[in-house]
C-alpha cells in the first residue's frame, strides 16, 4: 500500500497534469504549479492542495519536475525562486524532463549539497498513461533517492527501471528512447504520405500497417491523429527539435554518427518553421504533404 505523502508537481503540461492527478488519486497531498494559472486553477478544482511553493517547500516529501528541458529544470531547482534550498533534508527531487546525462549528474551533486535526494527519472508513455498512473520510468539514483521517491513512483508508474545508483543512466536511456520515438514518428509520416501518392488511403494505411511488421507504437498511436485531422497536442512538434538535438549532442560527444536521427530532426524543424510547433507531433506529416502536393484528412485544397 502506498504511504501518503506531500508532493508538488511543477509543470502541469500534458504529462505533468496526469502525474499530478495520479498522485492525488493515490491519496497524496498534492500541489500543482505551472506558469499557466489556468492549469493551476483547474488542478485546485480537482482537489489539488492550496499554497505557495515557497511556503510549502519545507514540508514536502517529493518534488516532481515535469518541465520542458534542462534550463527550466535548473531554474525550478536553483533559480532565483529555486525550490531545493527550501526543501528539508531527506526529501527528494524526481526530475522527469529529457536532459543530457551530464546535466542530471550536476543536478544530483547540487541537490546533495542541500541534503536533498535527486532521482534522474525521465518518463515515457504519453499523456493518457500519465493520467492512469501507468507510466514507464527510466530511473537512476542512490538507494536513498529511490526509497524517498517510492510513494510517488508507485502512484505514477507501472514500470520503474532501476538503471544505476547515481544520476545519468536514466537520462542516457531516455535519449535512446527519444531517438527511436522521434525517428518512428517522422518515418510514420513519410510512409503514410508516400502511401497516399500510390492511392493508399490514410485510414487504410492504419488498418493494414498496424497489423504488419512495419508497425510501431508511435505509428499506432500517432497515425490515427492524421486520419482524424486532429492535431490537438498530446506531445507537440516543438518537443522534437529539443529532444533529438540532445540525442545528436550526446552522439557528437561520443564521436558517434547518427544520420537517421539527423534526418528526422530536420523534418521536425521544418514543421516548426511552418508554424506547426504547437500542434501534435503527428503534424510532421504536413511537411511531407506540402512537399508532395497532397491534401491530408481534414484539410481543404
What's the pLDDT score for residue 285? 98
Contact 49, 31 (CB under 8 A): yes
Summarize pLDDT for 230-241 with one digit per residue, the tens. Answer: 999 988 999 999
Percent of the chain with pLDDT over 70: 99
Q: Is the pLDDT of residue 265 over 70?
A: yes
Summarize pLDDT for 91-142 with one digit per residue, the tens. Answer: 999 999 999 999 999 999 999 999 999 999 999 998 889 999 999 999 999 9
Q: Report all structural domains of the chain as residue ranges with CATH numbers, in order of start.
A: 6-167 (3.40.50.720), 171-292 (1.10.1040.10)
Ramachandran assignment for 47, one of left (phi > 0), alpha (psi -120 to 50 degrees), beta (any other): left
Enclosing H/E stretch for 244: helix 239-253
What's the pLDDT score for residue 42? 97
What's the pLDDT score for residue 234? 86
What's the pLDDT score for residue 300? 80
Per-residue pLDDT, averaged over 21-48, amounts to 97
Summarize pLDDT for 193-227 with one digit per residue, the tens. Answer: 999 999 999 999 999 999 999 999 999 999 999 99
Percent of the chain with pLDDT over 90: 96
What's the pLDDT score for residue 2? 55
Q: Compute the mean pLDDT over every residue in the chain, rounded to the nearest whole number.
A: 96
Mention every residue, 6+ apart, whose C-beta is less than 8 A from residue 275: none
> Judging by beta carbons within 10 Å of its beta carbon (0-12, 13-18, 19+), is residue 37 exposed, middle or buried?
exposed
Per-residue pLDDT, averaged over 32-54, amounts to 97
Q: Annotated active-site positions, please?
A: 174
Contact 55, 80 (CB under 8 A): no
Summarize pLDDT for 73-94 with one digit per residue, the tens. Answer: 999 999 999 999 999 999 999 9
* Eight-class DSSP state of 274: I
What's the pLDDT score for residue 126? 86
Residue of 117, 6, 118, 116 lying closest to 56 (CA atoms)? 6
List the beta bridge partners of residue 63.
Answer: 8, 93
Question: What is the model's pTM?
Answer: 0.93
Q: Quick check: helix, strand or coil at residue 138?
A: strand
Ramachandran assignment for 298, one of left (phi > 0), alpha (psi -120 to 50 degrees), beta (any other): left
Is 14 or 38 the better-scoring residue by pLDDT? Answer: 38
Contact 38, 27 (CB under 8 A): no
What's the pLDDT score for residue 301? 66
Amino acid at each position: 500500500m502506498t504511504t501518503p505523502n506531500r508532493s508538488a508537481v511543477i509543470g502541469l503540461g500534458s504529462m505533468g497534469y496526469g502525474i499530478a492527478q495520479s498522485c492525488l488519486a493515490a491519496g497524496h497531498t498534492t500541489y500543482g504549479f505551472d506558469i499557466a494559472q489556468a492549469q493551476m486553477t483547474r488542478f485546485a478544482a480537482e482537489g489539488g492542495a492550496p499554497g505557495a511553493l515557497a511556503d510549502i517547500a519545507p514540508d514536502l516529501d517529493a518534488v516532481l519536475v515535469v518541465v520542458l528541458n534542462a534550463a527550466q529544470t535548473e531554474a525550478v531547482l536553483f533559480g532565483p525562486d529555486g525550490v531545493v534550498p527550501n526543501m528539508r533534508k531527506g526529501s527528494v527531487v524526481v526530475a522527469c524532463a529529457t536532459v543530457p546525462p551530464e546535466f542530471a549528474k550536476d543536478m544530483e551533486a547540487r541537490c546533495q549539497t542541500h541534503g536533498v535526494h535527486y532521482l534522474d527519472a525521465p518518463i515515457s508513455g504519453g499523456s493518457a498513461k500519465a493520467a492512469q498512473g501507468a507510466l514507464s520510468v527510466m530511473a537512476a539514483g542512490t538507494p536513498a533517492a529511490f526509497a524517498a521517491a517510492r510513494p510517488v513512483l508507485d502512484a505514477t508508474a507501472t514500470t520503474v527501471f532501476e538503471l544505476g545508483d547515481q544520476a545519468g543512466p536514466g537520462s542516457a536511456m531516455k535519449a535512446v528512447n527519444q531517438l527511436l520515438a522521434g525517428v518512428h514518428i517522422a518515418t510514420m509520416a513519410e510512409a503514410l504520405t508516400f502511401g497516399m501518392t500510390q492511392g493508399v488511403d490514410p485510414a487504410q494505411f492504419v488498418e493494414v500497417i498496424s497489423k504488419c511488421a512495419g508497425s510501431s507504437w508511435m505509428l499506432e498511436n500517432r497515425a490515427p491523429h492524421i486520419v482524424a485531422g486532429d492535431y490537438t497536442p498530446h506531445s507537440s512538434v516543438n518537443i522534437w527539435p529539443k529532444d533529438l538535438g540532445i540525442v545528436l549532442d550526446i552522439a557528437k560527444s561520443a564521436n558517434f554518427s547518427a544520420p537517421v536521427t539527423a534526418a528526422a530532426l530536420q523534418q521536425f524543424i521544418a514543421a516548426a518553421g511552418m508554424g506547426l510547433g504547437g500542434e501534435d507531433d503527428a503534424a510532421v506529416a504536413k511537411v511531407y504533404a506540402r512537399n508532395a502536393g497532397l491534401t491530408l484528412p481534414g484539410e481543404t485544397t
